């Protein structure tokens, strides 16, 4: 009996291994279509240069949704639709931005309006005043001093600008990739990788306290009749990294027009003020608010063909929303482009997937994964109660791309060791393209987490950082020019292959142990 059981187990293991051997003929066809007939850069151009910035809730985002739905439909995907996920607050869009120092001499300044702050209602001029507030009590010393002034907020930390001897752009080395494979915390030591905080137990109190203090400051500035605020954000050499901005709530309290500025320009203003020099500034910003609070995802499908499996799903996507300082190319126009190109490749090859392939392009990711969380809750279940809907058991996997413009170097397992041998097999045809790393570690802060939180296998690919963390992520330099077309093609081919392999498998991908309900 023991021999029979062992033989049966061995046969089952062999059958599973055979099931996960990639179809090399199909992979060759995917490569040929993806490299020789790529539409990736044209798709990226349309999404970024043509549609422009895509802040959630903005007309630019609505325009991009319409374009994406039509493009997917034109490629022959079925059920292309714009699907609402819920309310958001006020939409917001920048329509004009100008800032300059006019005394002690004229110098145009590089600045970006802080999100969800009002415009200046025409050109405003005023003397700058340096303000440093670390606690509510510090406001008292500025009473009666701010009327008609443009506030320059002094940061609490040292802002000395130093020469950077590290390159802005970086590819992962073999040693770094090998370390990621064996050390779940290795990417914390790799320069220019995006820092994905996945510590769900981290206390929110410091952030909440800072936001509370800032709300008090905003009310104080208005009461004191200041006319605008300028503040330092991360960025040097003309790069300005934008921030989450003011409240987008419909009933948000009024705030002053606010500009965010990089180190060199704001440091010069502060040095002059510290030296007792009079500094005059002028600025004109125009921003528009939109009270239609219904936001959307874009959805389309390649229908499954197997009578027993076509109701099951393989999903892929990326977030289409961006920040407003540039065109949101590496965050996350490239991820959206790769997902769109992957389904275009499969449709161009006229594949007949056993399972249905569904692409979803999210909005609201930058405000807290709102689009993907809304979609998961609507279609699959609630992550807090762990109460599921019928479609929950139909999903095999969701694949996400949202770490910039670099080529794929491997994949994060999200602590699901059962898929390791599967993914290692699927990456085998791409070793010569630099993609072979499979790491057990989790990576957070993007849309696969919405699936992972509810027990659906959700995966994010490892990418070369390039200039993502150093120059483009959330910045005014996040433009089409920062993309390497070969990297985009490689990522699209690998995404298409993973989706195809998952759709053709006899069984859904194995799931790790179920998360515990929070209520």
DSSP state letters, 239-303: --B----S---TTPPP---EEEE-HHHHHHHHHHHHTT---EEEEEEEEEEE---EEEEEEEEE-
Regarding whether 47 and 118 lie in a shared domain, the answer is no
- Assess whether the previous peptide bond of 364 is cis (omega < 30° from 0): no
Regarding whether 244 and 201 lie in a shared domain, the answer is yes
Please tell me the predicted confidence (pLDDT) of residue 202. 44
Question: Alpha-carbon distance 59 to 341, whole Å?
Answer: 24
Choosing from 288, 319, 353, the residue where a domain stops is 288
- Asked whether the beta carbons of 250 and 90 are under 8 A apart, the reply is yes
Please tell me the predicted confidence (pLDDT) of residue 199. 41
User: Does 439 fall in a domain?
Assistant: yes
Regarding whether 34 and 52 lie in a shared domain, the answer is yes
Which residues make beta-bridge pairs with 99?
Answer: 283
Taking Cα atoms as reference points, which of 488, 473, 494, 8 lies closest to residue 240? 473
Neighbours of 466 (CB within 10 A): 25
Phi, psi of 264 (to 5 degrees): -60, -45
User: Does 63 fall in a domain?
Assistant: yes
Regarding whether 369 and 256 lie in a shared domain, the answer is no
**Domain with 32 in it:** 21-88+293-504
Please tell me the predicted confidence (pLDDT) of residue 189. 59
Question: Alpha-carbon distance 258 to 136, whole Å?
Answer: 20
Regarding whether 273 and 322 lie in a shared domain, the answer is no
Domain with 206 in it: what CATH number? Answer: 3.50.30.30
User: Does 190 fall in a domain?
Assistant: no
Which residues make beta-bridge pairs with 463?
Answer: 408
User: Does 516 fall in a domain?
Assistant: no
Taking Cα atoms as reference points, which of 245, 235, 255, 256 lies closest to residue 111? 235
What is the SS3 assignment for 115? coil
Regarding whether 72 and 121 lie in a shared domain, the answer is no
Q: Which residue has the tokens 């910039």?
A: 404
Regarding whether 127 and 216 lie in a shared domain, the answer is yes
Q: Any residues with CB less than 8 A from the CB of 71 and at least 6 apart, and which? A: 43, 46, 340
Regarding whether 125 and 66 lie in a shared domain, the answer is no
Choosing from 241, 264, 288, the residue where a domain stops is 288
Regarding whether 433 and 304 lie in a shared domain, the answer is yes
User: Does 230 fall in a domain?
Assistant: yes
User: Does 350 fall in a domain?
Assistant: yes
Domain with 370 in it: what CATH number? Answer: 3.40.630.10
Please tell me the predicted confidence (pLDDT) of residue 49. 98
User: Does 473 fall in a domain?
Assistant: yes
- Asked whether the beta carbons of 91 and 57 are under 8 A apart, the reply is yes
Question: Alpha-carbon distance 92 to 368, whole Å?
Answer: 17
pLDDT tens digits for 215-236?
Answer: 999 999 999 999 999 999 999 9
Regarding whether 354 and 425 lie in a shared domain, the answer is yes
Regarding whether 373 and 246 lie in a shared domain, the answer is no
Structural domains of the chain, count: 2
Regarding whether 477 and 359 lie in a shared domain, the answer is yes
For the question of whether the overall pTM of this predicted structure is more than 0.95, the answer is no
Question: Alpha-carbon distance 459 to 502, whole Å?
Answer: 12
Please tell me the predicted confidence (pLDDT) of residue 110. 97
User: Does 138 fall in a domain?
Assistant: yes
Choosing from 288, 314, 345, the residue where a domain stops is 288
Q: Any residues with CB less than 8 A from the CB of 274 and at least 6 apart, and which? A: 130
Mean pLDDT per 10-residue section of the chain, whose length is 519 residues: 42 53 97 98 98 96 98 98 94 96 98 96 98 96 98 83 90 94 68 51 67 95 98 93 86 96 94 97 97 92 98 98 97 98 98 98 96 98 95 98 97 97 98 97 94 97 96 96 98 98 98 84
């Amino acid at each position: 009996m023991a021999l029979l059981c062992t033989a049966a187990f061995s046969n089952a293991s062999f059958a599973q291994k055979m099931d996960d051997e990639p179809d090399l003929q199909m992979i060759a066809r995917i490569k040929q279509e993806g490299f020789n007939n790529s539409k990736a850069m044209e798709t990226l151009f349309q999404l970024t240069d043509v549609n422009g910035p895509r802040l959630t809730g903005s007309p630019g985002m609505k325009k991009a949704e319409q374009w994406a739905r039509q493009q997917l439909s034109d490629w022959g995907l079925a059920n292309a639709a714009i699907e609402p996920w819920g309310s958001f607050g006020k939409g917001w869009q920048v329509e004009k931005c100008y800032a300059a120092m006019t005394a002690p001499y004229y110098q145009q300044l590089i600045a970006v309006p802080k999100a969800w702050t009002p415009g200046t209602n025409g050109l405003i001029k005023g003397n700058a005043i340096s303000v440093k507030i670390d606690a509510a009590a510090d406001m008292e010393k500025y009473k009666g001093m701010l009327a008609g002034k443009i506030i320059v907020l002094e940061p609490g930390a040292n802002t000395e600008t130093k020469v950077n001897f590290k390159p802005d752009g970086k590819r992962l080395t073999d040693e770094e990739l090998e370390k990621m494979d064996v050390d779940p915390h290795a990417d914390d030591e790799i320069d220019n990788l995006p820092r994905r905080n996945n510590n769900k137990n981290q206390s929110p109190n410091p952030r909440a306290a800072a936001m509370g203090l800032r709300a008090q400051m905003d009310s104080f500035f208005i009461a004191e009749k200041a006319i605008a605020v300028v503040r330092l954000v991360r960025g040097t050499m003309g790069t300005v990294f934008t921030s989450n901005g003011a409240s987008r709530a419909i009933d948000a309290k009024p705030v002053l027009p606010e500009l965010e500025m990089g180190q060199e320009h704001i440091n010069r203003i502060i040095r002059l003020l510290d030296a007792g020099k009079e500094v005059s500034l002028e600025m004109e910003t125009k921003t528009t608010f939109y009270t239609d609070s219904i936001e959307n995802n874009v959805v389309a499908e390649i229908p499954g063909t197997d009578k027993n499996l076509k109701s099951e799903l393989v999903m892929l996507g990326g977030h289409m929303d961006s920040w407003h300082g540039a065109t949101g190319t590496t965050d996350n126009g490239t991820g959206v482009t790769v997902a769109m190109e992957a389904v275009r490749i499969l449709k161009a090859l006229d594949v007949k997937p056993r399972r249905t392939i569904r692409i979803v392009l999210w909005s609201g990711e930058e405000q807290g994964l709102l689009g993907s969380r809304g979609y998961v809750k609507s279609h699959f279940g609630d992550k807090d109660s762990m109460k599921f809907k019928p479609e929950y058991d139909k999903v095999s996997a969701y694949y996400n791309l949202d770490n910039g413009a670099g080529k794929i170097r491997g994949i994060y397992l999200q602590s699901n060791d059962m898929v390791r041998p599967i993914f290692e097999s699927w990456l085998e045809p791409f070793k010569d393209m630099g993609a072979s790393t499979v790491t057990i570690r989790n990576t957070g802060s993007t849309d696969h987490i919405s699936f992972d939180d509810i027990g659906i296998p959700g995966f994010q690919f490892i990418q070369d950082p390039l200039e993502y963390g150093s120059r483009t992520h959330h910045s005014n330099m996040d433009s089409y020019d920062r993309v390497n077309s070969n990297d985009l093609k490689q990522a699209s081919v690998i995404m298409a292959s993973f989706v195809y392999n998952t759709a053709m498998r006899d069984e859904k991908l194995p799931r790790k142990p179920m998360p515990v309900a929070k209520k």
